[in-house]
Amino acid sequence: MRANQYRRQVQKAELTGDITLPSGAIFKMRRPPLHVWMAAGRMPQHFLRAMLEQQNASPGSTVAMTADETLEGLQFISDCIVYACVEPRVAITPESDDVLALSEIDPADFQFLTQWVQSNAPGVPVATRGGEVETARLDRFRQKRAGGGFVDDRPDSK
């Protein structure tokens, strides 16, 4: 099998979702394979560390980064957006009129897409053994407490 044949085969099998941007544009998006990119060392380590710290931080807190780390993180997010956009296709430097330049994306849409990537691509189903599942349904799984028992973090729980 050739590399381009493999890429086409994988792309056909990827799950996508129609995501409405603040401008009203609807993009067909796929989930960036962040776990694969982490394992391959493609995700900047400081960015990964900041994401993990942010998950455990209190709401509204921020993680300090140097200017270089911030620029590296923005480049990574841009790469994620380029990868995730199926239709229209997006590229840093488009080679045809059928491809949208990343710089052409409205600032509010770019901010939305940045948050979308960081929020684990809501609206794009996840493949499971039982079929496709929306990410919102996965949030319903109960988390185990350290030492046993379950955490009930629903707003109406006592």
Distance CA 144, CA 147 (A): 8
Segments making up each domain of the chain, as ranges: 3-151
pLDDT in tens, 26-41: 999 998 887 777 777 7
The pLDDT assigned to 26 comes to 96
For residue 29, which of 41, 16, 20 has the smallest C-alpha distance? 16
Average per-residue pLDDT for the chain? 78
**92, 78 in Cβ contact below 8 A?**
yes
b/e 52-82 (16+ beta carbons within 10 angstroms → b): eeeeeeeeeeeeebeeebeebbeebbbbbbb
The pLDDT assigned to 104 comes to 94
pLDDT in tens, 59-116: 666 777 788 888 888 888 899 999 999 999 999 998 889 999 999 999 999 999 998 8
For residue 46, which of 70, 29, 20 has the smallest C-alpha distance? 70
Distance CA 79, CA 82 (A): 5
Q: Is the pTM here over 0.85, yes or no?
A: no
For residue 90, which of 10, 25, 43 has the smallest C-alpha distance? 25
pLDDT band at 157 (very low <50, low <70, confident <90, very high): very low
pLDDT at 154 over 90: no
